[in-house]
Amino acid sequence: MADAPWPDGLETPPSYWRLNARWLAPLAVFLSTAILTVLSFPPYAAPEFAYAFASPAIFWAFSRPPLKVFVWTLFAAQAVAWIVILCWLRHVTFFGLFLLGPFVGAWVGSWYLAVWWTMPRLHGRPAPVRMLAQLGLAGAWVLVEWTRTWLLSGFPWLPLAASQWQRTSILQIAAYTGAYGVSFVLIAMNVGFAAYAHRLLVEGERNFLKRRSPEFLLALFLLLACLSIQVQETINRRLFNESLGRIALVQPDIPQSAKWDPAEAPGIQRILERLTRTAGASRPDLILWPESAAPGAVKGDPEMQAWVASLAKETNVPLLIGANAFETDANGTRWYDAGFAVTPDGVQPSYYAKRHLVPFGEYVPLRPVLGWMSKFVPLPDDANPGRDAAPLLIRLPHGPTAFGVLICYEDIFPQLARDSVLSGSDVLAVLTNDAWYGEEGAAYQHAAHSVLRAVETRRPVLRSGNAGWSGWIDEFGGIRSTLQDDQGSVYLRGTGSVNVSRDRRWVGRKSFYVEHGDWFVLASAGLALLGFALLFRVPPTVPEPGAGLLR
């Protein structure tokens, strides 16, 4: 062996991969991670990639790559992936895109540090320890996603669960765990695939019976548990359907360049009048307008209030609309991004005020320090946040119905939807405006969050967007209707009506998640601590397999 002409004492020529693994492995992991991450999310119809997007990096981590190389490879992959995922943001600001993309990539990608530490330590551990470490990694991912809901005001755009927005079979666990449970199972599958590949390719196990990977089997068990909930929920479901009413959705497609221009207000009113009359001709029980549809303050502007009231009276149909509200008292005037219920008798005095404002869109955070950034905010002054999740009551054919309003991107925050249901909402109504972001992936990505909120709360979700995705999602996450033009595009100016039903088993009933909140986050933290602690305390039972295939 000492006289072998090849490196490392090999008697045969090493493969091209082995000779160049130091740079080929990082390149392969970078490309596969970036590409699979992007393709996992909408608008791409390939959610199955979410089961394996992290597997190449997890597989690589088994071989103890240098920390610096591993970190920079995964940071670069995540930064590129999230710049591509959020590329629609360039329609608002290129600076924001190239700041936010790498920031979110690093935030999400911090999880890979746990991967780098954990995977080499699985060598030779008993199966229970390996599986607990796997659950610990899945729990660590949940903790990262949870911090995205509140840290730095929160930006939980596209949790991993959102990749499955068109696959209701795996989503039903969210009614118990929140969307975090879906992400947990997907990460467990990623670890399972990587561990199985390592068992076959690196450990070189030839005995068919011993090829089984405990991590892979555990991941399959978790996936089957999700599917069993889907089966349970769908048995005899048709027997429990009851009509909620005929709902019309108005999508005015007002360009952002015109939306805040006072000179454009008469034209916007004419568009809304025409579409509302068209919607009214279909004899609906309710008409929805999107966020800030009215070109003025329905609260604080008597003329605008009289105008929307006249439309409800003319069509003899109640309206649920987005508009501004101005409140004036001794301390001055405050404005709110709001939702109003308008009946043929007039505008209801109570309205919903948006609770979670968009930083640098509706207000400037830390204004004494960052006030110079006001020029990036397209509004004259900071909006004020609402504090109340109370629903708006609208009478439908079966009786008064409580609509929990979520405005703009409030539906990406699970706690806001949960609070609306705890306040008595029968239906969630998302009034939004995705016209900021062009005709790309933003509308589909945004709609994916509404699917998660529907499953978590077991409430139907109605969405009305100024431009983008408008439709109806049932309480099991099924997309029952989408407003589209003749070419199948969701980017249109128009209206459509749909007969909305609901499952009476969930009328007045709260899901486990609504009742108990983010208990699964705490459970995930416990699993992460337990899994990592066991790797310290339990020694390997067999020697580590031979070395450094991917170093």
Would you state the pLDDT for residue 192?
97
Beta strands in 214-314, from DSSP E residues, in sequence order: 241-251, 286-288, 297-299
pLDDT at 162: 98
* pLDDT value of residue 372: 45
Please give the backbone phi and psi of residue 403, each rounded to the nearest 5 degrees, phi first.
Answer: -100, 115
* Pair (228, 257) in one structural domain: no
Per residue in 459-488, is it b (16+ CB within 10 Å) or e — as a string? bbbbbbbbbbbbbbbbbbbbbebbbbeeee
83 and 45, same domain (yes or no): yes
What is the model's pLDDT at position 257? 83
CATH code where residue 247 lies: 3.60.110.10
Per-residue pLDDT of the chain (551 residues; tens, 9 = 90+): 445 454 555 455 566 666 677 889 999 999 999 999 999 999 999 999 999 999 999 999 999 999 999 999 999 999 999 999 999 999 888 988 999 999 999 999 999 999 999 999 998 899 999 999 999 999 999 999 999 999 988 999 999 999 999 999 999 999 999 999 999 999 999 999 999 999 888 877 665 556 688 999 999 999 999 999 999 888 888 889 999 999 999 999 999 888 878 899 999 999 999 999 999 999 999 999 999 999 999 999 999 999 999 999 999 999 999 999 999 888 888 999 999 999 999 999 999 999 999 887 776 665 554 444 454 555 557 889 999 999 999 999 989 999 999 999 999 999 999 999 999 999 999 999 998 899 999 999 999 999 999 999 999 999 999 998 999 999 999 999 999 999 999 999 999 999 999 999 999 999 999 999 999 999 999 999 999 999 988 777 655 554 444 44
**What pLDDT does 85 receive?**
98
Q: What is the CA radius of gyration of the chain?
A: 26
Full residue range of the structural domain in which residue 146 is found: 15-235+519-537
Nearest to 248 by CA among 433, 472, 406, 504: 472
Task: Quote the pLDDT of residue 117.
Answer: 96
pLDDT at 546: 46
Look at residue 48 and tell me if it is in a domain. yes
372 and 449 part of one domain: yes
For residue 2, being part of any structural domain is answered with no
Same domain, 444 and 532: no
> In this structure, are 284 and 427 located in the same domain?
yes
Q: Is residue 421 in some structural domain?
A: yes
The answer to whether residue 161 sits within a structural domain is: yes
Q: What is the pLDDT of residue 544?
A: 54
Asked whether residue 231 falls in the same domain as residue 248, the answer is: no
Among candidate residues 291, 294, 292, 298, the one with its CA nearest the CA of residue 270: 294
- Specify the pLDDT at position 12: 57
Q: Could you give the number of structural domains in the chain?
A: 2
> Is the previous residue joined to 460 through a cis bond, with omega within 30 degrees of 0?
no
Q: What is the pTM of this model?
A: 0.93
Question: Do 211 and 269 fall within a single domain?
Answer: no
CA-to-CA dists, residue 369 to 364, 486, 517, angstroms: 10, 50, 35
